[in-house]
Structures are given as C-alpha cells and as structure tokens.
C-alpha cells in the first residue's frame, strides 16, 4: 500500500470514528428520505478547490458537479441516430428536474489549469491532450471578453481575467437550457457566479448589473 493510499484509508477511519459517528442521525435521515439539496454547484476538478471543504457544507447541502475548469456547455440535443455523452448537462438536468434545486452556482477559481489551457489555445500554443482542448474551447469567448475589457492584459493578469470571464460565459450557457431558463424567468431558480482566490482565501460573487465581481465576505 502506498503512502497516499494509506493516508486516505486513515482519513476514512477518522471520518467514521469522529465525523460520521457524531452525525449518524443526519446520514440515516438522508438515506431514509433521500437527498434534497437546495444548491447545485458546478465546480472545478482541481484538487485544491473542493467546495464541500472550502464552504464547510454538510452532507445533503450541495449537489456537486465537477469538471475541468467548472464549465457549462451550451444546451445541445443529440442528432437523430447519434448518441453523445452529456455529463455536465445530465447532472444539471437531474439537479433541476429531479431534485428541484433552487440555486445553481458556478464556482470558479484562480490559477485554473483548464482556463489556462484555453488561453494557450487562443494564443496559438499547442495544448496537449485529446479531450482537454475541445472541452475548454467552450469558453473561448472568455478570452475575447477579457481582452476587450483589458486590452493590455497578459500573463497572470490575463489568466485571472479569463477565469472570471469563463464564469460569466458558463452563466450565459446555463440560460440556453430550456428547463433552467423557464425556472429562472419564473423566479423559482437563481443562478450565481462565484470566484475563489485560492492564494488569498477570498470569495467574490458576480453582479450582472455592474458587470463585476465583488467580495462576498
């Protein structure tokens, strides 16, 4: 057994003896009644930004949807005779139509390698991988928006701008899903864009009226 696997097994032992034992009633209720989270969160797969840890949520609070760069693709149905795999879209559909969540949060973060891959592609630098380049191209528009708002931005400054703009593009893409748009317009569902600066430990939220991110706390 490798050290990292031993660490995980020890972690589970601690979880079972401490966290789980103190919350047995909660887990039994969640098993008996099923999950009823109020929030669906599209977060990054990045190991540094686990939303449950960062936000100190309880089991049953958040329906987590994690992928590279916390992206939401535009709504797209299969063509006749074709079958595609819509992992993020399926999770959103389940969260909204089956679980009835009242909020969807796009949870972006600083120093995102997925967004960096998009930036590299937009600047003509080859990006390794069979799937990552096409996946991150979902938010190519974020690069254009970032450069239009800050034409002189480059390097780290440009990366930070693109990370925030990618959150905004994913918010726009959420509204291409009919079952999301309908509920937002009926005011039974709210969508939010959050951005975590992992170096500074700061969390901000996107304000569409002012077109900027402001600190939440």
Residues 70, 106 contacting (CB under 8 angstroms):
yes
Give domain limits for the chain: 1-34, 35-215
Q: How confident is the model at residue 84 (pLDDT cuts 50, 70, 90)?
A: confident
pLDDT of residue 117: 98
Q: Count CB-CB contacts under 10 A for residue 23.
A: 14
Residue of 135, 154, 137 whose CA lies nearest to 146: 154
pLDDT in tens, 166-186: 999 999 999 999 999 999 999
The residues that bridge with 107 in the sheet, in sequence order, are: 43, 194
The residues that bridge with 105 in the sheet, in sequence order, are: 41, 192
Q: How confident is the model at residue 1 (pLDDT cuts 50, 70, 90)?
A: confident
58 is in an annotated binding site: no
Two tokens, residue 49: 């930004």
Two tokens, residue 196: 């975590």
Q: At what angle do helices 155-174 and 140-149 cross, to 10 degrees?
A: 120
Mean pLDDT of 118-144: 96
pLDDT of residue 165: 99
* Site of tokens 């703009």: 165
pLDDT of residue 49: 98
44 is in an annotated binding site: yes
Q: How confident is the model at residue 212 (pLDDT cuts 50, 70, 90)?
A: very high
pLDDT of residue 82: 78
Burial tier of 153 (Cβ tally within 10 Å: 0-12, 13-18, 19+): middle
25 is in an annotated binding site: no
pLDDT in tens, 46-76: 999 999 999 999 999 999 999 999 999 999 9
For 13, the enclosing helix (H) or strand (E) is helix 3-14
Two tokens, residue 42: 């599209």
Mean pLDDT of 86-108: 98
pLDDT in tens, 3-22: 999 999 999 999 999 999 99
83 has pLDDT over 80: no
Alpha carbon distance 144, 211 (integer Å): 16
The share of the chain scoring above pLDDT 90, in percent, equals 95
Alpha carbon distance 66, 45 (integer Å): 5
Residues 198, 49 contacting (CB under 8 angstroms):
yes
The fold of 35-215 is Beta-carbonic Anhydrase; Chain A (3.40.1050)
Q: Dihedral angle at the C-alpha atoms of 142, 44, 172, 130, nearest 10 degrees? A: 60
112 is in an annotated binding site: yes
Q: Count CB-CB contacts under 10 A for residue 6.
A: 10
189 has pLDDT over 80: yes
pLDDT of residue 153: 92
Mapped onto helix, strand or coil, the DSSP state of residue 63 is strand
């Amino acid at each position: 057994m490798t050290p990292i696997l031993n660490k995980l097994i020890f972690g589970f032992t601690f979880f079972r003896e401490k966290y789980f034992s103190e919350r047995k009633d909660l887990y039994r209720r969640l098993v008996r009644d099923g999950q009823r989270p109020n929030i669906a969160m599209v977060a990054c797969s990045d190991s540094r930004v686990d939303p449950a840890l960062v936000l100190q949520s309880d089991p049953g609070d958040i329906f987590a949807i994690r992928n590279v760069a916390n992206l939401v693709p535009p709504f797209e149905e299969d063509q006749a005779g074709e079958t595609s795999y819509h992992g993020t879209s399926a999770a959103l559909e389940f969260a909204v139509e089956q679980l009835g969540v009242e909020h969807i949060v796009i949870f972006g973060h600083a120093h995102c390698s997925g967004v960096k891959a998009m930036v590299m592609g937009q600047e003509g630098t080859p990006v390794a991988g069979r799937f990552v380049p096409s996946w991150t191209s979902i938010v190519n528009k974020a690069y254009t928006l970032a450069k239009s708002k800050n034409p002189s931005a480059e390097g780290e400054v440009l990366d930070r701008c693109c990370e925030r703009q990618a959150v905004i593009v994913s918010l726009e893409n959420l509204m291409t899903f009919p079952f999301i748009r309908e509920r937002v317009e009926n005011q039974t569902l709210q969508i939010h864009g959050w951005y975590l600066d992992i170096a500074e430990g700061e969390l901000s939220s996107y304000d569409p009226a002012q077109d900027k991110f402001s600190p939440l706390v």
